[in-house]
Structure 1
Amino acid sequence: MSADGARVLCVSATAAEAAHVPSGLPVVITGIGKVAAASAVARALAARPEIDLVVNIGSCGALRGGLGGVHEVARVLNHDLSAEALRALGYDPQEWLDLEGGEADGIALATGDLFVTDPAVRDALAARAHLVDMEGYAVAWACREAGVACRLVKHVSDNADEGALDWVALVDRSAQALGAWLADNISPDRVR
């Protein structure tokens, strides 16, 4: 165990999304996108073997109408992977990962390196998932590979349309909601 006894690690793509993380909760800022997220989480877990839970917080786009607020993800999809082509070659692309803790909402998150603003792309993704982000799958993958539990907690900042281009103006509202979720759901005894 580390000197502070931390067992929970909060992970966010940007400092703006983590601006309201409760004091005392360790945070890793990964950078944007799947490669940045996976490599930062892998490095953090290798350096901190006492971590037994990673909580990935972040903003996301709603792919379906009527979705707002904070959601814990049950399943996450690597949406910009050529899964069918890989399957045809005899490989399992493992494009879906199931997570513990998000079953109540049954929310599916699509993760990709594409910043979704196009209505056609959004509608195609909506047939497979409820929300879209750019890091969740990569965080979940890195945690699975390290044998560490992972929870993905996302706040809807936009509707994955042209309004997403206003993300800089919207992100603090997401950060406040995510900070409140952490305060309500992550026990202080898991941190110290």
Structure 2
Amino acid sequence: MRPLVVAATAAEAAYVPEGLPTVVTGIGKVEAAAVTALAITEHRPDVVLNVGTAGALRTGLSGLFLPSLAINHDLDAPSIRALGGQAIDEVAIADGDGSVLATGDRFVSDAAVRDVLAQRAGLVDMEGFAVARVAAAMGVPVRLVKVVSDTADESALDWPQVVDSCARRLGEWLAQSL
């Protein structure tokens, strides 16, 4: 198997086992999509593994998740479709754990925003949907691996202090799973 590990930040990729091809995309959907597409073209992987942190949108969610569905939460898909356009705003992911990840370019650190998103998903990040969409478009299986770093409220601003422990957990998952 030829995996490609994709992370938004170097901090999230800090404990990727040595020897695994890894790319750091930068933060947000555009950066994630552009860098992932280039990396798939260059590395020709059998699977893309998007590792990173996520905010919990619901009380009690913690630990590591393998989402089964990624949604693009800040795309106005209904309006685009009403205008006759195509709007892909969901990507199903095989072999997930049933969780739903909402991806958007907004850093969610507001409880009111969190509560609205919680109606559609349990987790939130800024890259997962983009990585999954690019991989699907390029015919490469994808797995999203997300560790909860905060509760998508003011605690999200503590991300720099918790990212190392989250990255260790991601590295452990990779070492055990590959």
Which TM bucket (shorter chain)?
Answer: over 0.9
Matching residue of 1:139: 131
Following superposition, the deviation at residue 52 of structure 1 comes to 1.1
Q: Distance in 2 between matches of 1:60 and 1:38?
A: 18
Report the aligned-residue RMSD. Answer: 0.9
1:104-124, Cα deviation, whole Å (9 max, x unpaired): x21000000000011111000
1:16-27 paired onto structure 2 within 5 Å: 16-27=11-22
Matching residue of 2:35: 40
Q: Does 1:159 align with 2:154?
A: no
Matching residue of 1:91: 85
Which of 82, 106, 120 in structure 1 is aligned with 2:76? 82
What secondary structure is seen at the aligned counterpart in 2 of 1:66? Answer: coil
Q: Does 1:183 align with 2:175?
A: yes
Matching residue of 2:141: 149
1:141-181, Cα deviation, whole Å (9 max, x unpaired): 11111111100000000000001001000100110110111
Matching residue of 2:53: 59
What secondary structure is seen at the aligned counterpart in 1 of 2:102? Answer: strand
How many positions carry a matched residue from both structures? Answer: 178
Following superposition, the deviation at residue 77 of structure 1 comes to 0.4
Following superposition, the deviation at residue 24 of structure 1 comes to 1.3
Following superposition, the deviation at residue 90 of structure 1 comes to 2.1
Q: Distance in 2 between matches of 1:122 and 1:92?
A: 27
Structure 1 segments of 4 or more deviating over 6 A? none
Structure 2-normalised TM-score? 0.97
Q: Does 1:15 align with 2:10?
A: yes
Moved more, 89-98 or 38-47: 89-98
Which of 120, 139, 152 in structure 2 is aligned with 1:128? 120
Q: Distance in 1 between matches of 2:126 and 2:107?
A: 7
Following superposition, the deviation at residue 89 of structure 1 comes to 1.2
